Amino acid sequence: MTKHHTANRAHWNAKSAGYQERHDPQIGREPMLWGGWSVPEAELNALGDLTGLRILELGCGAGQWARSIAADDRLIVGLDLSEAQLAAARQHAPDLALVHANGEELPFASGSFDLVFCDHGAMSWGDPFRTVPEASRALRPGGRLVFNASSPLLAVCYDEASNSIGTTLQGSYFDLYEIQEEDGATSFTLPYGAWIRLFRANDFVVEDLVEIRPPADVTSSYYATEPADWHARWPAESLWIARRI
């Protein structure tokens, strides 16, 4: 286990209860909501028809997505590196298939899944140069990787001093990769071109990039922005849809 796994695991174990208390009223208020402003999957149709699929969620947290997707005609496995997050998921949905692991070292045979997805989760808290190859390995040929992550623009406009997203560039676009979080934890993001080259190197073809645009009057329990409608004027999140060839 690498240094950032240990720190990220400790971070999420310590943060889990407070995270769920603060954010579940937003992300758990109805099924299948994407991102920091909770845009419904019914509007974006990023996952498509899930009938009969074998599905892996990378970084399932308290299982808000997994328990919305679970049905008799599909298999969903929720994976998370935090025992506390998995305990929260188990409390809400005792019958969910849950696995304690990280997204860089998936404990599954090659070709085990038809769909690998996450909303931030392990694709934001794992090194993409390890998570993308592992997702490719775990998918059958023709399977899809669908994940939502902070956009490069959000990352370079984040002002650490005010803990908000504004209209002034604060960092280098070309140097995006590791982002140091509190408690020694690390999150990750990449420029668009680096994502595309990484997908191609791991047998993915990009089918779509949805730059999520929530309504201007929607608020978020995750982000403070200036102006308040920042999220409706610039893309804060990137929802990637890629297929393994």
- Checking if the pLDDT of 49 tops 70, the result is yes
Q: What is the pLDDT of residues 213-222, one digit of tens each?
A: 999 999 999 9
* 3-state SS class at 89: helix
pTM over 0.85: yes
Q: Nearest 5 degrees, angle CA 27-CA 2-CA 23?
A: 10
Specify the DSSP element, H or E, that contains 98.
strand 97-100
Q: What is the pLDDT of residues 155-197, one digit of tens each?
A: 999 999 999 999 999 999 999 999 999 889 999 999 999 999 9
pLDDT of residue 192: 98
Q: How confident is the model over 130-142, as a mean pLDDT?
A: 98
Q: What is the pLDDT of residues 8-37, one digit of tens each?
A: 999 999 999 999 999 999 999 999 999 999
Please confirm whether the linkage preceding 227 is cis (ω < 30° from 0). yes
Number of domains in the chain: 1
Cα distance between residue 200 and residue 198, in whole Å: 5
Q: Which residues contact 181 (CB under 8 A, 6 or more apart)?
A: 11, 187
From residue 112, give the alpha-carbon distance in Å to each of 76, 115, 121: 11, 9, 20
Q: What is the pLDDT of residues 64-108, one digit of tens each?
A: 999 999 998 999 999 999 999 999 999 999 999 999 999 999 999
13: containing domain: 3-244
- Checking if the pLDDT of 2 tops 90, the result is no
pLDDT of residue 217: 97
Task: State the alpha helices, DSSP H only, in the chain.
Answer: 3-27, 41-44, 64-69, 83-92, 121-125, 128-138, 152-157, 192-201, 230-233
Adjacent-strand bridge partners of 206: 242
How sure is the predictor about 1, in pLDDT bands with cuts at 50, 70 and 90?
low
pLDDT of residue 208: 98
Q: What is the CATH number of the domain that holds 143?
A: 3.40.50.150
